[in-house]
């Protein structure tokens, strides 16, 4: 049985992942056309490349359908309830950096911290009769963060499009989203809370604890880990 490794199927994440492995003597390449989600691996025998969207990889790891996977650490933490039980973090790859943050309108001059947001949320509910809305794609991570900070008077609204535009469009009062440069936030007149960093994400190599790790795949993992200079503890 081959050791299956899931890699993002397109864009800079795929290219950077191929580069990272290639620099360590493991060559990855897409097979055929850009529409084919299969690839080839050279440098270690018994490794099968599976090209998936970055968002699919956490689910495939949790189900044990792939042995290893490269995706954002934010996606694993948000999509898997008990992520550390389901997967093992093998290596941070040093690219794909993005911060999951909470941002509010620049016009809210008295709101700079999460405590300020808590007070603003309570005042908002008293004034408007409903909870302050925070638009996000990252429900689990945001809810856990705000619970830890004792913020209660809010509701999360799902955003699958341009989250930064939800405040301007009056469908939310604040947002929690991924940002790398902050330019889009500034363009939409939003500011990051000074203590509003929820998670500093980057591309990470994970191993699936529930995958079928027979003697053959374990031997491949050992050889691959040695070549990559990492340690995989399942």
E strand or H helix at 77, and its extent?
Answer: helix 73-79
Whether 74 maps to a domain, the answer reads yes
The reported pLDDT for the residue numbered 34 is 54
pLDDT digits (tens, 9 = 90+) for 116-147: 999 999 999 999 999 999 999 999 999 999 99
Q: What's the rounded Cα separation, in Å, for the pair 86 and 75?
A: 13
Is the same domain home to 11 and 31?
yes
Structure tokens at 180: 């790398």
Q: Which residues contact 1 (CB under 8 A, 6 or more apart)?
A: 212, 214, 216, 217
Is the same domain home to 181 and 220?
no
Q: Which residues contact 60 (CB under 8 A, 6 or more apart)?
A: 6, 50, 52, 66, 69, 208
Beta strands in the chain (DSSP E): 3-8, 27-30, 38-42, 47-52, 68-72, 87-92, 98-105, 132-136, 154-158, 174-179, 190-201, 203-208
Is the same domain home to 119 and 194?
yes
Hunting for tokens 């933490």 — which residue is that?
A: 77
CB 124 within 8 A of CB 209: no
The reported pLDDT for the residue numbered 113 is 98
Domain with 117 in it: 98-201
Whether 45 maps to a domain, the answer reads yes
Q: What's the rounded Cα separation, in Å, for the pair 234 and 230?
A: 13
pLDDT digits (tens, 9 = 90+) for 64-77: 999 999 999 999 99
The reported pLDDT for the residue numbered 160 is 74
Whether 93 maps to a domain, the answer reads yes
Structurally, the chain folds into a number of domains equal to 2
Whether 23 maps to a domain, the answer reads yes
Is the same domain home to 103 and 166?
yes
Is the same domain home to 85 and 140?
no
Is the same domain home to 143 and 124?
yes
User: Looking at the predicted structure, is the pLDDT value of residue 232 above 90?
Assistant: no
The reported pLDDT for the residue numbered 218 is 96
Is the same domain home to 69 and 112?
no
Whether 233 maps to a domain, the answer reads no
Mean pLDDT of the chain: 94
Q: In this structure, what CATH number is given to the domain that contains residue 144?
A: 3.40.190.10
Whether 222 maps to a domain, the answer reads yes
The arithmetic mean of pLDDT across residues 195-201, rounded, is 97
Is the same domain home to 90 and 176?
no
The arithmetic mean of pLDDT across residues 203-226, rounded, is 97
Whether 34 maps to a domain, the answer reads yes
The reported pLDDT for the residue numbered 33 is 54
Whether 234 maps to a domain, the answer reads no
Is the same domain home to 123 and 150?
yes
E strand or H helix at 117, and its extent?
Answer: helix 114-128
CB 166 within 8 A of CB 172: yes
Mean pLDDT lowest among 63-67, 182-186, 204-208, 226-230:
182-186
Is the same domain home to 15 and 85?
yes
Q: How many residues does the chain have?
A: 234
Is the same domain home to 86 and 135?
no
The arithmetic mean of pLDDT across residues 33-59, rounded, is 85
The reported pLDDT for the residue numbered 162 is 85
Q: What's the rounded Cα separation, in Å, for the pair 122 and 99?
A: 26
Confidence of residue 181 (pLDDT cuts 50, 70, 90): confident
* Rg of the chain (C-alpha set): 20
The reported pLDDT for the residue numbered 126 is 96
The arithmetic mean of pLDDT across residues 148-173, rounded, is 92
Confidence of residue 225 (pLDDT cuts 50, 70, 90): very high
In 3-state terms, the chain is what percent helix, strand and coil (to 5)? Answer: 35, 30, 35
pLDDT digits (tens, 9 = 90+) for 87-124: 999 999 999 999 999 999 999 999 999 999 999 999 99
Structure tokens at 50: 């599976």
Is the same domain home to 89 and 127?
no
Confidence of residue 47 (pLDDT cuts 50, 70, 90): very high
User: Looking at the predicted structure, is the pLDDT value of residue 217 above 60?
Assistant: yes
pLDDT digits (tens, 9 = 90+) for 11-42: 999 999 999 999 999 999 987 655 556 678 99
The reported pLDDT for the residue numbered 65 is 97
Angle (nearest 5°) at CA 48 between 47 and 51: 135
Interstrand relation of 98-105 and 47-52 (parallel, antiparallel or unpaired): unpaired
């Amino acid at each position: 049985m081959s050791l299956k490794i899931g890699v993002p199927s397109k864009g800079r994440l795929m290219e950077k992942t191929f580069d990272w492995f290639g620099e360590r003597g493991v060559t990855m390449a897409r097979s055929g056309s850009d529409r084919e989600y299969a690839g080839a691996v050279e440098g270690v025998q018994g490794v099968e490349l599976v090209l998936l969207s970055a968002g699919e990889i956490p689910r495939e790891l949790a189900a044990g359908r792939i042995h290893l996977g490269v995706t954002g650490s934010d996606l694993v933490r948000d999509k898997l309830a008990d992520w550390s039980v389901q997967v093992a973090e093998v290596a941070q790859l040093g690219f794909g950096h993005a911060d999951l943050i909470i941002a509010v309108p620049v016009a809210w001059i008295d709101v700079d911290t999460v405590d300020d947001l808590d007070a603003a949320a309570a005042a908002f509910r008293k004034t408007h009769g409903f909870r302050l809305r925070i638009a996000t794609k990252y429900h689990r991570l945001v809810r856990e963060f705000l619970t830890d900070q004792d913020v209660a008077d809010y509701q999360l609204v799902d955003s699958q499009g341009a989250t930064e535009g939800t405040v301007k469009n009056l469908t939310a009062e604040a947002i929690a989203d991924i940002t790398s440069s902050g330019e889009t936030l500034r363009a939409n007149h939003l500011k990051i809370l000074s203590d509003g960093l929820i998670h500093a994400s980057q591309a990470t190599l994970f191993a699936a604890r529930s995958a079928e790790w027979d003697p053959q795949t374990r031997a491949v993992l050992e050889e691959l880990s040695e070549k990559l200079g990492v340690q995989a503890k399942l």
